[in-house]
Amino acid sequence: MTPELQEKLTVWRRHLHAHPELSLQEQETSAFVQEKLREIGIPFEAGIGGHGIVATLTRGQTQGRVGLRADMDALPITEATGLPYASKNPGVMHACGHDGHTASLLGAAALLAADPGWSGTVDFIFQPAEEGFGGSRAMVAAGLFERFPMDRIFGFHNWPGLAAGTIAVHDGVAMASGGRITITIDGHAGHAGMPHLTRDPVMAAGHLIVALQSIVSRSVDPLDTAVLSLCTIEGGTAPNQIAGKVVIRGTMRYHRDAVKDTILERIEQTCAGIATSFGVKVTFGIVMGVGVVINTPEEAGLARLAAEKMRAEVRLDLAPSMAGEDFAHYLQQRPGAFVWIGNGDLRAGAELHGPAYDFNDAILPVAAGWMAEVAKAALASNQGAGP
């Protein structure tokens, strides 16, 4: 990558960082990407599955076709970096690095557009709404693989705590599946000084939270992997009134469906037990995610090959993450691989989804270069991978 392109990608990334947009609201981000694709000279189609974009570049006579994906949305987090390019949108922040992913994919497009030494078709997929709003599912439903019949698909996520520029490739499971949990406890409101006339959902919620935390430690095989996190609790409006309702929200994560089934069964049993014990009504609901991110063997090999061509350090020994990624939905449709690219040292508050997080611009050449190289490696493999 030339210094000029690296500088351009840095400027683009920081512009995106300063102008984040939430899932399903990526209108300005999409317009910015379209502007840069025109600048690079690559045709595209917009409005796919919402604000999604697919740009397509074809060279030579080879029939192979490969997809490269980046996500564009931000999170409802207030930024605390103090950077000169910090978010200008209060309460919204690129706290997961999707600004860097988008800039990297634009960089890969620029590299491939300037490189005559490959043949085939590359689709550059700029996806909206990754952060729990089904962006990949929406793009697939909009005919992604019918309109752009790619044989394989690849993507990456930056990874704080992994040495900058190191590329981690998993054989098989890379990231977890899961679901978003909502538990509603309906009791009977009343005066805080007359608790015997109420049915207290706050007390029931306290016992329920403690009881639910025993599921992973006592109902899931210790050799399996699972997470059950209860992250928000809402209830009550006055300090001298026992509330009538409490709502608890959280998430569960797993790598195997059998573990999912165990957790769901135990949550339902625990909710029923708390309802009986405290005389309240407990309603449990869950919205499931799209699945486990599972790299296919041949494509994991191509991801390693591309990393080696970049002369990047390659790690094959990292355990899968319990974080989720809706790239899984693409991998249910096509073979592919999803890698991690090190973002550098982990600092307190600068973890993924942390208020002090920032994408490391120094890894833009590695990320963009890896995406370009994996596309070329896939097209050159001539293995006939398909749907």
What's the confidence (pLDDT) of residue 289? 85
What's the confidence (pLDDT) of residue 386? 43
Q: Which long-range contacts (CB under 8 A, 24 or more apart) does 85-93 make?
A: 85/14, 85/15, 85/17, 85/18, 86/17, 86/18, 87/17, 87/18, 87/19, 87/20, 88/18, 88/19, 89/19, 89/20, 89/21, 92/20, 92/21, 92/22, 93/20, 93/355, 93/357
Number of CB atoms found within 10 A of residue 173's CB? 17
**Domain 176-288 falls in which CATH fold?**
Alpha-Beta Plaits (3.30.70)
| Percent of the chain surpassing pLDDT 70 | 98
Give the mean pLDDT of 205-212: 98
Beta strands in 37-151 (DSSP E): 44-48, 52-59, 65-71, 120-127
Mean pLDDT for the chain overall:
96
What's the confidence (pLDDT) of residue 31? 98
The answer to whether 135 and 69 are in contact (CB under 8 A) is no
Q: Is the pLDDT of residue 179 over 60?
A: yes
Q: Is the pLDDT of residue 5 over 80?
A: yes
Q: Which of 231, 210, 215 is nearest to 267 (CA)?
A: 215
* Residue that the structure tokens 């981000």 belong to: 29
Beta strands in the chain (DSSP E): 44-48, 52-59, 65-71, 120-127, 152-160, 167-168, 173-186, 190-191, 226-235, 241-242, 245-254, 281-288, 293-294, 314-315, 321-324, 336-344
Region 3-172+295-381: CATH code: 3.40.630.10
On the question of a common fold for 3-172+295-381 and 176-288, the answer reads no
Is the pTM higher than 0.85? The answer reads yes
Identify the H or E element spanning 258.
helix 257-278
The answer to whether 42 and 55 are in contact (CB under 8 A) is yes
- The helix/strand/coil state of 28 is helix
Q: Is the pLDDT of residue 88 over 80?
A: yes
Please return the burial class of 177, using the count of CB atoms within 10 Å of its CB with bins 0-12, 13-18 and 19+. Answer: buried
Domain boundaries, the chain: 3-172+295-381, 176-288
Q: Which of 370, 253, 369 is nearest to 320 (CA)?
A: 253
pLDDT single digits (tens) 333-384: 999 999 999 999 998 889 999 999 999 999 999 999 999 999 999 999 964 4
The CA distance from 112 to 37, in Å, is: 12
The upper half-sphere exposure of residue 387, i.e. CA atoms within 13 Å in the direction of its Cβ, equals 7
